[in-house]
Amino acid sequence: MTIVSVMALACATGCDRADTSRRDSTAAPVTQPAPARDTTPAASVDAPRIVFLGDSLTAGLGIGKEQAVPALIQERLRREGYAYEVVNAGNSGDTSDGGLTRLDWSLSGKVAVLVVELGANDGLRGISPDRTRQNLESIVMAARQRGITVLLTGMEAPPNYGPAYTDQFRRTFRDVAAKEHVAFMPFFLEGVAGIPSLNQPDGVHPTPEGARIVAANVWRYLEPLLKKTES
């Protein structure tokens, strides 16, 4: 099944053009304060941080932070002997605009790696890919200027807005990664999107099992960056 058909199936389970907010229970403009930092104990208070800046897919909507991807990455780091503190800076409903607004807060402290998982809500709302690109570029550039290594994750738009939009949206992430010379994971939900058993009833947000698959995929792109960061 292609990525586009996967996202089409996901959209069919819980969203339409007239009411895309059903794919994210907080898709309205976010007014809540920035989420609290992940309280998973770190190996050391002085450990470098890996920050996941994202939306509900990072926050763990429907499963809780303890089962979300950042927490699973924290567990993997410990098993593999890496002394990093993982920060879950996911905020349900965020677009790339929201992520950019929260960037300074998210990059506070000793941040070594920034994982950028944003764009799903941009695609749901039909936000211009040019605007999404500008926001992602600003986020990546700001992190790199602080000496932070970046992993950018790609996202797919539902097919509601037509093939021209979905193609441009998909290219946005690849173009930003290429322009800014950062690591790139083509699709955050690879192997999970569109598979009912790996998603909650909304058809979009992963179950705990789905989150474990996403975390394993993220690890393949993240782990090489940790070796570079530690050297």
Confidence of residue 44 (pLDDT cuts 50, 70, 90): low
H or E segment to which residue 133 belongs: helix 129-145
Find the catalytic residue in 21, 25, 175, 202.
Answer: 202
All structural domains of the chain, each given as residue ranges with its CATH number in brackets, are: 40-230 (3.40.50.1110)
Lowest mean pLDDT of 38-42, 67-71, 103-107, 212-216, name the range.
38-42
Active site residue 16: no
Confidence of residue 10 (pLDDT cuts 50, 70, 90): very low
H or E segment to which residue 8 belongs: helix 3-14
Q: Provide the β-strand partners of residue 88.
A: 52
At 35, which amino acid appears? P
pLDDT > 70? residue 9: no
Mean pLDDT of 83-99: 97
Active site residue 56: yes
Active site residue 205: yes
Mean pLDDT of 163-170: 98
* Nearest-angstrom CA–CA distance, 26 and 9: 21
Find the catalytic residue in 24, 94, 122, 205.
Answer: 205
User: 93 is written with which tokens?
Assistant: 């409903």
Decide which of 154 and 22 is more confident.
154
- Alpha helices, DSSP H, located in 161-207: 163-180
pLDDT (tens digit, 9 = 90+) per residue, 139-164? 999 999 999 999 999 999 999 999 99
Find the catalytic residue in 56, 92, 96, 106.
Answer: 56
